[in-house]
Chains A and B, each alone.
Chain A
Amino acid sequence: MAHSTTQYKLDQKFEFTAGLKKTIFTVLGIGAVILIIGMIAAALGGHDHANGDEAGHAFHWYHRVFANLWINNVYFTGIAIIGVFFFAIQYAAQAGWSAGLIRIFLSFGYWLPFAAVLMIVTFFLFNHDLFHWTHSSLFDKGGAEYDKIIDGKGGYFYWPLENGSFPIFFIFRMVAFFAIWGFFFNKLRTLSYEEDIQGGTGYYYTLRKWSAIFLVFFAVSSSVSAWDWVLSIDTHWFSTMFGWYVFASWFVAGLAAFTLVTVFLKERGYLEMVNENHIHDLGKFVFAFSIFWTYIWFSQFLLIYYANIPEETFYFVERLQSDVYSPFVFVNLVLNFFLPFLVLMTRDAKRHAIFLKVVCSLIILGHWFDFFLMVQPGTLGQNGGFGLIEFGMLLVFGSAVAFVVLSNLSKRNLIAKNHPLLEESYHHHI
């Protein structure tokens, strides 16, 4: 009953056992082997694919590796920053229910530095293979490949330099976003850990202030990064929904990942204060934002479908009328909408770990397919697909992220033990 004050063990640390590390490294190893087999198979059998794409470049098997690097970079960067975002949301909303869980959200931010390096390096090495707009011949007025539309958009990438030179504005945004996200992550993290030692409510208010500032910045930067990193692949195309669309995809994937880690920790006997009510709330988040994602996806699709303007429809024609990608459009909708909608609809499904484990794993895979569909048609044309390279690289990235997140989670106290709303979270009841 609500009257008795329960004492929980607050000084608990997640133990990142050797067995668990071994499992993660095994998955990583299997992923690497699959990736290498896929690359060898593609290199040996790829000659018949060497037909030129629209930019006049021949397709080589390694383009597929670059495209996959980009898919996974963008996807896991998103999950990492959503960790910081969701942590900040809890403070800005003064949420009590989640007080025992915030360290889990926060720990996803540790992937950010790795993501920043991978992203920037990938861009510098393979920009011509990923982004059509990086070819300087497109901006050469009077040249054979001059593209008036892309030249008109050039300022977004090259300002203040000349179009077609070094994309300084684009690079500046990429570096600035990672730097500022990293700064806020570091700030929130430090304050939260200091609170463990010092106590008092002062940290709570300071955290709330920094969270609010971060959320304002993230509101803008999440959209802009979606245009930069994903939308600009299809340079001719545009969609005003796109920022929200990418954000929604990241958010659901992030929520699914938090739920999985929470359930996993509960099963290992941690977090006694987190009961089925908290799990239920996480389940509701996954359920609700899966519908939100579908709403955004469909809003984008419906307007373009109905208006039927060629410069907009080609994005969906490229995907829906392609033998390579059209099955995945439906896989995407089934995994990310119908499955969570139907399975997580009942209260019992959201309160029991087994349903959540299955659905959340499939959602994480499903939103990977969402990014797969955003990136591959624009970078690889009809030469893409889901094969050994894709599967292998997803396993490599996924287990690397899991390793970074869990190893950093194990370094600090698992519970923000001086969080002023912890008592409220014990009595959370729905």
Chain B
Amino acid sequence: MERDKNFILGVYEDEDVLMDAVVKIRKSGVKIHEVYSPFPVHGLDEVLGYRRSRLPIAAFMFGLLGTSLALIMQFYMMKFDWPMIIGGKDHAAVPSFIPVTFEMTVLLAAFGMVGVFLITSNLKPWSQPRIFDIRITDDKHVIAIDLAANAALGEEKISDVLKNAYASEVNKKSFV
């Protein structure tokens, strides 16, 4: 069976039930593809066993890039390209570079973080999102389980696990 094509969906109304269900399903050995919910559920990423996001590292790197670019730019402009005497100070008056450096750091860290987030979350403007269940944009939480990833268990077994884990509905969804 091909991966990432055929899914079994458990539908939930309440986020507390959902959290318990995730714990229960993972304990029974079923691999969860993803959980979709209309609002952020606090602690869900932890019970799903996700690794912590490495986004802060990207932010730090972009911030560092901003710092260096701002300093290089100002030193180049003020010291080498067009030296000017302002207020009787050195051409490279470092304290007066700090505000610009700070702003560039914040700007690049923020832009870099947003960019990295959009790319890693597959939120490109031209990407076609897969809708597992239209109600996840309204009032339902959905646990999606990839059939191919749990081939050893089979459809019946997975449905049973979901039903035992308090799912109010169990549906099938396939993508071409």
Contact = CB atoms under 8 A, between A and B. Distances in A.
B16 interface: yes
Nearest to A345: B60
Interface string A395-427: 000000000000000000000000000000000
Contacts of A429: 42-43
Interface in B14-28: 16, 19-20, 23
A302 B95 contact: yes
A429 B42 CA distance: 9
Nearest to A298: B98
B99 interface: yes
A2 interface: yes
Interface string B90-105: 0000011011000000
Interface string A294-330: 0000100110011110000000000000000000000
Given A298-B98, A429-B42, A3 B87 contact: no
A382 B90 CA distance: 27
A305 B95 CA distance: 8
Contacts of A125: none
A1 interface: yes
A301 B95 CA distance: 9
B87 A308 contact: yes
Contacts of A346: 56
A: interface residue count bin: 10 to 19
Given A1-B19, A2-B16, A2-B43, A302 B98 contact: yes
A302 B99 contact: yes
Given A306-B87, A429-B43, A3 B99 contact: no
A307 B93 CA distance: 13
Contacts of B87: 306-308
B88 interface: yes
B102 to A, nearest CB: 9
A263 to B, nearest CB: 23
B107 to A, nearest CB: 17
A176 to B, nearest CB: 39
Interface string B70-114: 000000000000000001110000011011000000000000000
B: interface residue count bin: 10 to 19
Interface in A1-60: 1-3
A212 to B, nearest CB: 30
Contacts of A3: 16, 20
A3 B99 CA distance: 48
Given A2-B43, A429-B42, A308 B88 contact: yes
Interface string B43-58: 1000000001000100
Nearest to B16: A3
A429 B19 CA distance: 15
Nearest to A348: B52
A296 B143 CA distance: 49
Nearest to A301: B95
B109 to A, nearest CB: 12
A298 B43 CA distance: 39
Contacts of B42: 429
A346 B99 CA distance: 24
A270 B52 CA distance: 30
Contacts of A347: 52, 56
B65 to A, nearest CB: 16
Interface string A339-382: 00000011100000000000000000000000000000000000
A345 B42 CA distance: 23
A307 B95 CA distance: 12
Given A2-B43, A345-B60, A429-B42, A302 B96 contact: yes
A307 B96 CA distance: 11
Q: Looking at A306, A346, A347, A429, which has the most chain B CB atoms within 10 Å of its CB?
A: A306
Contacts of B88: 308
A330 to B, nearest CB: 14
A347 to B, nearest CB: 8
A306 B99 CA distance: 12
B20 A1 contact: yes
Contacts of A305: 95-96
A281 to B, nearest CB: 15
Contacts of B56: 346-347
A305 B98 CA distance: 12
Interface string A71-111: 00000000000000000000000000000000000000000
A112 to B, nearest CB: 37
A429 B46 CA distance: 11
Contacts of A1: 19-20, 23
Contacts of B95: 298, 301-302, 305-306
16 contacts: A1-B19, A1-B20, A2-B16, A2-B19, A301-B95, A302-B95, A305-B96, A306-B95, A306-B96, A307-B87, A308-B87, A308-B88, A345-B60, A346-B56, A347-B56, A429-B43
Given A306-B87, A429-B43, 8 more contacts: A1-B19, A2-B16, A298-B95, A298-B98, A302-B95, A305-B95, A305-B96, A308-B87
Question: 5 closest A-B pairs (Cβ-Cβ)?
Answer: A305-B95, A308-B87, A302-B95, A306-B96, A429-B43
